[in-house]
Structure 1
Amino acid sequence: MARKKPVVDAGFVLFDVVYQDGRQTSNRKVPAADLGGLDGDDPAKTFIEEQDRKIAEMSGQSRGPIKTMKRSPNQ
């Protein structure tokens, strides 16, 4: 009998982010596999901050610190 492969959730959770300077970005994708457990949505902030660092390196423009973030209602 063949073994079944475990199901991997490759989905994303979308977040709306507000930065301390007042700028806002919507629908930032974070892998669903990175969320949940005891930390809840806290890993999303780390993931988005890392994305922002990479974007800043390529563009030369920093986004600054995150003020607030919440799950997008558009999911």
Structure 2
Amino acid sequence: MKPYLLSLGAGLLVGIVYSLIGVRSPAPPTIALVGLLGILLGEQIVPVAKRLATGSEISRFVRTDCARHVMGPLPTNKDRDA
């Protein structure tokens, strides 16, 4: 969780500096971020379809491999203690 909070803090700090010097953020519009999410989710359609075709267990794959790819490494209790 600490890296996420540090990233948020850094983003807030940069946003404040941009505001003070009157510069617009180069961040992409929301529609671009939604498109990126679509790409991440779309990449998972073929592996899920292959598992459906072979009768493999899908729920574990979605919870582990898909979630790890789409969400990135999520914070653990070890991360909190570091």
**TM-score normalised by L of structure 2:** 0.28
TM-score (norm. length: structure 1):
0.30
Q: Which has the higher helix share?
A: 2
Q: Of the two structures, which has the highest relative contact order with CA contacts closer than 8 Å and spacing of 6 or more?
A: 2
Determine which structure has the larger strand proportion and give its number: 1
